[in-house]
């Protein structure tokens, strides 16, 4: 779903909390507003954004043989493809496993580091922030060229332990190399999300207070900080999830065929209906998930205020 992830760069919170509009609409006056051009723009935007979704849905339910409507394309999603590919559930679960591993590794790597930076090395934060922006400068297409070059170089000596390690992490059944690379891709967004979260909770006071009350470090981390950072952690997890479930570039160029987007692309389809059906299905799934999480965030924000 995420072709580049730049969208998530702009939205550390996937769905911003219901903001209090400090400039209520009534106060914006004639000098800056006009109503009919606004409605034209909104209508055109609505057509452009909702249109393809509706068109795709109607495309997928067309019955070319008998005319009328059929859901056979959606039923076919779950049958085994004729060309020897794995099935829909296998591909989905494959990507899900990679996503979960990525989330765990990213949070394991970034949360302690960011807490350490925030509490002990505030001046290094600038450097780390620049580092976390590097994956935006060197996009996945570029990164995968480098990774491929590393593989070629390591492959020149097939008896070295390094070759064995690289071979192991490249294996189709446990593609750790994908996990490692996805952590890098997720870094800019997860860093910003966690950073916003850590800044907002005054972690220094929390840590001092709990230490003063005699808490050990695990307690401080898991029972004090993590619950306070729950929104940020959930948002980060979801960012990673969306990134991994939609990541095509690296997995395709490194010749993995089971991750979900690659699987979807290679799905044999005589009319394009099944591919469109899977696309509609997965996009709606992501939308629903996002709205659910947004609603949860919203409700917590409302509860906090009330």
Residues numbered 153 to 192 that lie near other proteins (CB under 8 A) are 153, 155, 158, 161, 164-165, 167-168, 170-172, 180-181, 183-184, 187
- If one asks whether residue 87 binds other proteins (CB under 8 A), the answer comes out as no
Between the CA of residue 89 and those of 60, 78, 104, 291, 304, what are the distances in Å? Answer: 20, 7, 22, 23, 39
- If one asks whether residue 150 binds other proteins (CB under 8 A), the answer comes out as yes
Q: Which of residues 230-249 bind other proteins (CB under 8 A)?
A: 242, 246-249
Cβ proximity to other proteins: between 231 and 282 the closer is 282
Residue count of the chain: 306
* Binds other proteins by CB under 8 A, chosen from 47, 69, 71, 134: 134
Closest CA to 251 of 304, 300, 168, 180: 180
Measured torsion, CA atoms of residues 268, 271, 273, 276, in degrees rounded to the nearest 10: 70
- If one asks whether residue 42 binds other proteins (CB under 8 A), the answer comes out as yes
- Measured CA to CA, the distance from residue 55 to residue 61 in angstroms comes to 10
Backbone angles phi, psi at 103, to 5 degrees: -60, -50
Pick the stretch among 91-99, 121-129, 194-202, 229-237 that binds other proteins (CB under 8 A): 121-129
* Binds other proteins by CB under 8 A, chosen from 66, 78, 120, 306: 120
**How many H helices and E strands in the chain?**
15, 0
- If one asks whether residue 95 binds other proteins (CB under 8 A), the answer comes out as no
Measured torsion, CA atoms of residues 81, 85, 89, 91, in degrees rounded to the nearest 10: -140
- If one asks whether residue 229 binds other proteins (CB under 8 A), the answer comes out as no
- If one asks whether residue 305 binds other proteins (CB under 8 A), the answer comes out as no
Pick the stretch among 22-30, 87-95, 193-201, 228-236 that binds other proteins (CB under 8 A): 22-30
- Measured CA to CA, the distance from residue 275 to residue 74 in angstroms comes to 10
* Binds other proteins by CB under 8 A, chosen from 72, 79, 200, 268: 268
Cβ proximity to other proteins: between 103 and 183 the closer is 183
CB of 145 vs other proteins, minimal distance in Å:
4
If DSSP codes are grouped into helix, strand and coil, which group holds residue 81? Answer: coil
Instruction: Assess contact for 163 and 80: CB atoms under 8 A.
Output: no
- Measured CA to CA, the distance from residue 239 to residue 258 in angstroms comes to 21
Cβ proximity to other proteins: between 2 and 236 the closer is 2
Binding mask 63-82 for other proteins (x = CB under 8 A): --------------------
CB of 102 vs other proteins, minimal distance in Å:
12
Cβ proximity to other proteins: between 39 and 78 the closer is 39
CB of 142 vs other proteins, minimal distance in Å:
4
Pick the stretch among 24-32, 92-100, 193-201, 229-237 that binds other proteins (CB under 8 A): 24-32
CB of 300 vs other proteins, minimal distance in Å:
16
CB of 267 vs other proteins, minimal distance in Å:
10
CB of 26 vs other proteins, minimal distance in Å:
7
Q: Is the dihedral of CA 288, 290, 296, 299 positive or negative?
A: negative
**Directed axis angle between helix 176-200 and helix 161-170, to 10°?**
80
CA angle, corner 146, sides to 145 and 150, nearest 5? Answer: 120
Between the CA of residue 231 and those of 108, 161, 293, what are the distances in Å? Answer: 16, 42, 10
- If one asks whether residue 21 binds other proteins (CB under 8 A), the answer comes out as yes
């Amino acid at each position: 779903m995420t072709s580049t992830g730049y969208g998530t760069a702009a939205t550390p919170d996937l769905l911003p909390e219901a903001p209090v509009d400090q400039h209520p609409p009534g106060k914006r006056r004639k000098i800056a507003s006009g109503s009919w051009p606004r409605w034209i723009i909104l209508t055109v935007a609505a057509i452009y954004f909702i249109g393809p979704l509706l068109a795709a849905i109607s495309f997928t339910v067309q019955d070319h043989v008998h005319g009328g409507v059929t859901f056979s394309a959606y039923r076919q999603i779950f049958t085994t493809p004729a060309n020897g590919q794995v099935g829909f559930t296998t591909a989905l679960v494959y990507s899900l496993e990679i996503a979960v591993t990525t989330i765990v590794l990213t949070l394991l790597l970034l949360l302690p580091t960011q807490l350490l930076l925030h509490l002990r090395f505030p001046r290094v934060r600038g450097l780390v922030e620049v580092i976390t922006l590097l994956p935006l400068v060197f996009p996945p297409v570029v990164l995968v060229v480098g990774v491929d070059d590393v593989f070629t170089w390591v492959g020149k000596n097939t008896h070295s332990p390094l070759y064995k390690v690289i071979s192991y992490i490249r294996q189709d059944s446990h593609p750790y190399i994908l996990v490692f690379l996805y952590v890098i891709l997720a870094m800019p967004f997860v860093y910003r999300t966690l950073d916003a979260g850590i800044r907002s909770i005054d972690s220094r006071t929390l840590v001092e207070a709990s230490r003063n009350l005699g808490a050990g470090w695990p307690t401080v981390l898991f029972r004090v900080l993590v619950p306070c950072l729950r929104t940020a952690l959930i948002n980060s997890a979801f960012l990673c999830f969306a990134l991994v479930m939609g990541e095509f570039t690296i997995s395709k160029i490194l010749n993995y065929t089971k991750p979900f987007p690659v699987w979807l692309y290679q799905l044999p389809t005589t009319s394009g209906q099944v591919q469109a059906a899977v696309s509609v299905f997965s996009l709606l799934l992501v939308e629903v998930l996002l709205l659910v999480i947004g609603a949860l965030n919203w409700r917590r924000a409302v509860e906090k205020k009330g």
